[in-house]
Amino acid sequence: MRAILFSSQAYDRDSFLGSPLPAGLELHFQAARLSLDTAPLAERHEVVCAFINDDLSAPVLEQLAAGGTRLIALRSAGYNHVDLNAAQRLGLSVVRVPAYSPHAVAEHAVALILALNRRLHRAYNRTREGDFSLHGLTGFDLAGKTVGVVGTGQIGATFARIMAGFGCQLLAYDPYPNPEALALGARYLALPELLAQSRIISLHCPLTADTRYLINRDTLAHLQPGAMLINTGRGGLVDTPALIDALKGGQLGYLGLDVYEEEAQLFFEDRSDLPLQDDVLARLLTFPNVIVTAHQAFLTQEALAAIAATTLDNIAAWQAGRPRNLVEG
Q: Is 135 considered catalytic here?
A: no
Task: Tell me, yes or no, if 234 is annotated catalytic.
Answer: yes
List the beta bridge partners of residue 71.
47, 93
Side by side, the strands of the sheet bearing 290-292 are: 187-188, 169-173, 146-150, 200-203, 227-231, 252-257, 290-292
Q: Roughly how many angstroms between the first and final C-alpha of the chain, as a whole number?
A: 26
Q: Which of 199, 204, 234, 261 is catalytic?
A: 234
- Rounded distance between C-alpha atoms, residue 254 and residue 231, angstroms: 11
* 90 φ, ψ (degrees, to nearest 5): -90, 0
- The answer to whether residue 107 is catalytic is no
Q: How far apart are CA 72 and CA 326, in angstroms?
A: 10
Give the active site residue among 263, 271, 322, 324: 263
Annotated active-site residue in 295, 302, 322, 328: 295
Local structure of 228: helix, strand or coil? strand
For residue 271, give every residue at least 6 positions away whose Cβ sits within 8 Å of its Cβ, in sequence order, or none.
none
The widest CA-to-CA distance across the chain, in whole angstroms, is 64
Active site amino acids: 234, 263, 295
